[in-house]
Structure formats: structure tokens, C-alpha cells
Amino acid sequence: MAGGKAKKEKAKAPQHMPYQGGISFHKSKGQHILKNPLLVDSIVQKSGVKPTDVVLEIGPGTGNLTKKLLEAAKKVIAVEIDPRMVLELQRRFQGTPHSNRLTVIQGDVLRTELPYFDICVANIPYQISSPLTFKLLNHQPVFRAAIIMFQREFAMRLVAQPGDKLYCRLTVNTQLHARVFHLLKVGRNNFRPPPKVDSSVVRIEPRKPRIEVKLKEWDGFLRICFNRKNKTLGSIFRQKSVISLLEKNYRTVRALELGQKDSLKEADTKTDLASFGDDQGMEMDDDEADDDEMEVEDGETDEVQSEFKDKVLGVLKEGDFEEKRSSKLTLQEFLYLLSLFNKAGIHFS
């Protein structure tokens, strides 16, 4: 200001970083562009793209990975939310031999109806990892594989095995619908701008045929099992709130069966998997994050003298699950235990 002293302002850290072409990358929006050409080649090679494949690329950015995919595939369909990146893609490939084999869709991939594709290759904003994973698993017709760059911890949850520290509800829900393989670890310096964490590329192969299960029932079951994943199942299913919930469900189902036996349908077998991804708790350590999910305190394991409680514990004893822990159960064991509960008329939704 005229006639006064100019105040010295502290330099603020830039919210975005420009690249040589003039486009600014917004870290707040999860924009981290692959800059290592050797890494790009490795991802394309490990994806197993065939010359007859239609490839869905999510988050193409400026097209570094897109270019290699176009060289390997029949067609590439790129979904990009940033209009600046869309223009850059169009500019980059206009007039090239690849231009007629590239289709760019501008929009939010979570709200976009995805077309047919054989393989998905994606370097995504990490904040959409969970909802995107389940959107893809819900896609029809079933694709061959998805090769996706995730934040490393999220990726390791997807591929975790029983007994691993990161084994959680997200792990079991994902592996119910797909086989997941870790392909390679990617350091943060392979991106522009570099993210704060390392990444990993995983390969997701949907199961064919799918494992048939009532998804609402399955989800309710896993929520209880992973409420305290390192406690014994006997301890978890003795909790007053759990017994109360299951007994309420039991009475409801019994009333429906007696009142209208022919009205019970299994429509929720086809429940939209995308809704699973809305649960951010699946990206966290269930033993820490979900402790209050059932509104149960550590000491709330008092004996509940009821015939129904004996029925629940009887199921655990029948399958030899009473002393087992969710953190060490396999997918097949979870499926078997749920079938035992359902056989006894005990339901979770």
C-alpha cells in the first residue's frame, strides 16, 4: 500500500506442479503422472494385452501409458475427469496412426457407465481405490483382468493372506469375487509430482464362475466377524449386542416364513457390489477402526442366559470355530461358517 510498509508474506507451498507442456498437476485431486518410461513398459508387458483386446484406461493423464497401450491393443477407451487432460490427449494423438483407435470419455469414472472391455489398466487417484475396485468387480460382462496402481498399503490389503497383519474385511470381500496378485512395487519418485507414499501394481482377475452368495447376508456376517478380528469367534458371538441383533433377525425370518413362506426371494444375490466400496472402514485396520462399529465395549461379554445364545454358540462348536479368529480364517472357512449359521436359521441381514 502507498504510504505504508509492505508486509512480508511467507511463501506458500504450491498446490499444483507444472510439467513441461504447461499443464499443472493437482496433488489434492490425486494427479500423479507416471514419468518413468521403463515402468510404463513393464506395466504394459505384465498386463498381458493382446492385439485383439479392447483396453479400458482410467486416469490416462497426459497419455504416457496410453501411447504404449495403443501400440499393443486393438482399441483404448480412456476415461478422464479433467478436461485439460482430455484436450492434451486429443492434441497428443491427433493425426497419428493411433488416433482412430482411441476413444476418450470425459467424466467421473465412478458415475460413468463403462463400455465393454477385455482389460482395464489404471493409475488412479488413491481416494477412489475402494469404490472403483468394487465397481469393476460388479461390471458385466466380466472382463479378463484389471491391472491397477494402488497406494501400497491398500494393495497389500487386497493380496493379504490369513494371518497377515493387513488381512481384513476388504481382503475377504475382494477375494470372494476375484483372484488378486501383486505385480510390482513402485517408488514415489516414478511420478510427477511425487506422492507421499509408495505404490504397488496389482492384477485383479474376476472369478469365473462367480461364488454365489447373498451379498447383504455376507456383508453383515463379515462385519461381525471382523469387528475384533484378533478375538476368538466365541468371544465375538457372546457379545450382548451381537446376540440381540441375530435374535431379532431370527425372529423376523421366522415370522416371515410362518406368514408367507412363498414370499422369500434371494434377490440380494445380485446386490450391487459398488456399494461395498462406499465403506471407508474397509481400507483401515478393522481391529482398530471398527471397534465401536457394533457399539460394544471390551467388557461387554457377560453371559446371556438364553436358548438363542446356546443356539449360536452351538453352530460355532459344530464347525469347530469357537476358538478360531477371523484374522486367520480362509475364504472357504468364512463361507462354510456362514452356511452353518444359515442352515440353523441364523441370518445377518
Q: Is 173 helix (H, G, I), strand (E, B) or coil?
A: helix
Q: Is 79 helix (H, G, I), strand (E, B) or coil?
A: strand
Distance CA 14, CA 27 (A): 10
Contact assessment for residue 329 and residue 199, using Cβ atoms and an 8 Å cutoff: no
Distance CA 310, CA 243 (A): 10
* 108 assigned to a ligand binding site: yes
End-to-end Cα distance, the chain = 66
C-alpha cell at 2: 502507498
Listed in sequence order, the DSSP H helices in the chain are: 37-47, 64-72, 83-93, 129-137, 152-159, 169-177, 215-225, 233-236, 240-259, 286-289, 307-318, 331-343
Distance CA 95, CA 90 (A): 10
Residue 208 has φ and ψ, to the nearest 5°, of -130, 115
* 337 assigned to a ligand binding site: no
Residue bearing cell 468371544: 235
Residue 166 has φ and ψ, to the nearest 5°, of -90, 5
The DSSP line for 188-208 is GGGEES--SS-EEEEEEEE-S
What are the Cα distances from residue 279, in Å, to 138, 209, 274?
A: 16, 26, 10
* 95 assigned to a ligand binding site: no
Closest CA to 76 of 120, 32, 110, 135: 120
- Quote helix, strand, coil % in the chain, to nearest 5: 45, 15, 40
* 32 assigned to a ligand binding site: yes
Binding-site sequence positions: 32, 34, 59, 80, 108, 123
Binding-site positions for S-adenosyl-L-methionine read 32, 34, 59, 80, 108, 123
